[in-house]
Structure 1
């Protein structure tokens, strides 16, 4: 009975204490690496180093390149809508063969990006995504 009484007192004491809820402050949005104007619309421009994607999908290594042990690079440019979805995806670089660019485009089209707030409003933005095709060491 004493144990129940002590437990009840402890619960009442805990309930009477003031509660402070700690909330994490949101990280401030990064500054764009550049700003471009396309058809009179200004877009902030980022790289994946300055604004990390939320969800990625690894590209499929091109079969011929894997067979021939060729490594390569691609640079994909993405117009991301205010919700973080890829709106337009284009290829800026594919070396040494176009197959690396095709594989990178197919993968990046399935990515989900972080929504961005610019000047207090949800905003579309452009992000440059480098994709390296390397054999495991």
Structure 2
């Protein structure tokens, strides 16, 4: 009888060991992070660029599973509405490789700083713009 119990115990342990090995062999897909693919810079409003006015806008961007921004909100203003608007408008067109969990694309939210640095020296077109302003006054 003891031999029968021992054989049953060995069979049970072997079955449990086989179960563990099957679970361990299940492939685990590591998560991937969001990756920017196409991020053209925003159009700098000409009058602000020529006036030497710059700024930094911070946006909160929710990127959907298709890799497109589905929500863009202002977190920190540049104190120039035209710069904030230019940044938001451009970021809405950006493209990303979406983040994944368990091999499936997911929605992820990131913060994006957008800095506008006035061109130095002023481009020639600024002088034409300024001439036009002088003639309009």
Q: Could you state the TM-score of these two structures normalised by the residue count of structure 1?
A: 0.59
More helix by share: 2
CA spacing shift, 1:115–1:52, aligned 2, 3 Å: closer
Q: How does 1:29-48 map to 2 (within 5 A)?
A: 29-30=32-33
- Structure with higher strand content: 1
**Residues 61 and 72 of structure 2 are in contact (CA less than 8 Å); yes or no, is this contact kept in structure 1?**
yes
3-state SS of the aligned residue for 1:54? strand
Unaligned runs of 5+ in 1: 1-26, 31-50
Distance 1:52 1:136, change over 3 A: farther
In terms of Rg, which structure is larger? 2
Please tell me the root mean square deviation across aligned C-alpha atoms, in Å. 2.2
Residue of structure 1 in register with 2:59 after alignment: 76
Normalized against structure 2, the TM-score is what? 0.59
Equivalenced residues, count: 92
What pairs with 1:1-137 in structure 2 (closer than 5 Å)? 29-30=32-33, 51-136=34-119
Q: Is the 8 A contact 2:59 2:113 kept in 1?
A: yes
